[in-house]
Each structure stands twice: as C-alpha cells, then as structure tokens.
Amino acid sequence: MKGRVERAPFGAMPDGTSVERIVLRGDQGFEAAIIAYGASVQSLKVPDRAGHSDDIVLGHDGFDGYLARRQYFGATVGRFANRIAGARFAIDGTQVTLDANNGPNALHGGLEGFDRKLWRIESVVEQGEPAVVLTHVSADGECGYPGRLDVRVIYRLTGPMELSMTYEATTDRPTVVNMTNHTFFNLSGATSGQSILDHRLMVPADHFLAVDATAIPLPGPPASVEGTPFDFRQSTAIGARIRDNHEQVRLGRGYDHNYCLPAGDGVRLAARLEAPQTGRVLELLTDQPGLQFYSGNFLDGSTSGRGGRLYRQSDALCLEPHAWPDAPNRPDFPSARLDPGQVYRRTIVYRFTTAAS
C-alpha cells in the first residue's frame, strides 16, 4: 500500500510548547490526521460511493477549540474510560479515591485525563504502513489512580481505507486501565448538515448494561436487548426507536449504553455503521469486551466546530470499545486490573468501505 506522512505544527500549549499534527495518507483519498494533544483523531477523510472524500469526524479546524472546551473529540481516553461509581474503588483491600468529575462519579480518567495531556511523538513511520507512535507517562496518584503508568498509542494505516489503533500500558503497582478512542462520527460528512438518525447500525450483542440516573450500571446481570430499542443485532436506523418511551432511553436522552460483546479471541467485528446517502460503511473491530454506543445526546449547539458549524444533538455518534463501566467495583464484570509485569494491550480498527445505492 502506498502512503505518505505529513508532520507540521498545529498550535501551541499555554506555556508555548508546540503541538504537532501528523497526517497519515493512504490510497483512494483516505487520510487520518492525529494531533499530539490527547493523542486525538483530529480529522478522518473517507471517500463516498462516488469517490468524493469528506471529513467524517467532529473536531476543530484549529487548536484553540480543543483547549477552549473539553469534549473528547477524537481523543484517547484514560486511565479509565467511561464511569466509576462514587469516584472510588478498592484494590487489594486499599481504598482508592478518584476525581469526581461527573456528578458523584469519575468519568473518562478524571479532571485531567489522557485527553488533556500533550503526548510525546515517539516515532513516525513513512515506509510500508504509515504510522505514528505517541507516548505518555501518567504519574503514580494522577487523578487518584495508583501506580506509574507508561502508555503508548500506535495509529497505523493497515489497509487502503483502514485505521488501526493499538493501546499499550505497563505499571509499577496494581492498578486499573481502560483506554479507548472517543471519535464522533457522521458518515454523511462532518459539515454536511445531515443527522446521524438515518445511519444504520448493527451491533452483534445480545445484552447491554442498563444504568441508573447517573449512568452507572444497575446491580445484577446484563439486560437482554430482545424486544427493546437496544436491539441492533439486525441493521437498524438509529432514529427508528430513539424516541420510544423506554426508561433507559429516557435516562440517557437517547443511547448512551454499554453493549456486552460476545466473548472471543482476538480482534472481531463489534459494529457496522452505514450512511445510506453517501454509501460510506464503517466496520469497527476490537478485542475489547464492551462497546459504548453514544448517540450525541448532549451536543447542544454551544460549541462551534469544523467549518464554523454549531454541533447539535444527533450531529454525530460515538462507538467506544472498552471495558465495561464501573468494572473496578464489579467483580462480576470482565476485569480491568493491570499488575506489574503485565502488558495492557488493546486494539481498535476502523475499516471503511462503500455500499451501492
């Protein structure tokens, strides 16, 4: 696969430190731009069925927008993506207290999570599969989490229209780790003015985690999707049932729930998303146990993004593969624990194709 890499300044931190932007270019107009701030996907250009490439992710044209307001656009999220109840958990009998930054809960790593850090660009690969490797050192006690955590994120073009992300981490003390990418997608184009409610979604999950009013999973086993608005086992328009009078839809103001993916080894299909108007198709593959589907419910028009557009509800959606929320407090959930000597390694793949009209 032919490809090339472009590396240039994108802005500066308040202390004057330069923030770089790395563009990974593939074939057929496919292009992924990564910024070192938050190790974030700043832009993702994908061709439609007519061969026209458009940016399909929310974000900002300049760096100031990322500093002005925290909205996780394209960001690497950690140490623990999603929520931890009461901003606390116990590990080996020791109580850990975290930043409470989402009501009583800890969300997406706390007040200064990985999305708020300037990552170091370790290397850039131009030959073969274009790639960039970013690193960050999270100090022991950062946002309350125990242990020094050494983290790497590798963005790589692994196909003509395929972006892969590999997350790696090691620790010097027992801790918890749960990383993901928080890209907001609109396969009709980020400045198209089209809603994502006509996008068709398939998630091969029989169960999801019902939540309380603070978005923490309820006690007990996962809930069946059967007969609910949460059943996406067959490709279904996102808007088809988003206004159904269902308690969980009301609590989330739409979809904002973790799907319990089928157990399996290695990277496997976790979601398929299609925009009928443009024909763009996203297949999301991962080795993570859960997938958070968020339908952009809290985009409220208060943020001006790419092209000067105001981002509003249903302008985009997120598909975030990660561990199940509140896993550190739920021994019945897949574990998010990491011990010294172990390597945390998780993968997310965005594979794009086009469908005929």
Burial profile 84-100: b = 16 or more Cβ within 10 angstroms, e = fewer: bbbbbbebeeeebebbb
Cis peptide leading into 280, omega within 30 of 0?
Answer: no
In contact, 66 and 13? CB cutoff 8 Å: no
Q: Which positions are annotated as active-site residues?
A: 182, 320
Q: Residue 261 and residue 206: Cα distance in Å, rounded?
A: 8
Half-sphere exposure of residue 120: CA atoms within 13 angstroms, side-chain side: 8
Give every CB contact of residue 257 below 8 A, 6+ residues apart in sequence: 208, 209, 210, 211, 230, 248, 292, 293
Could you give the C-alpha distances from 11 to 77, 113, 132, 194, 281, in angstroms and in order? 21, 20, 18, 30, 32
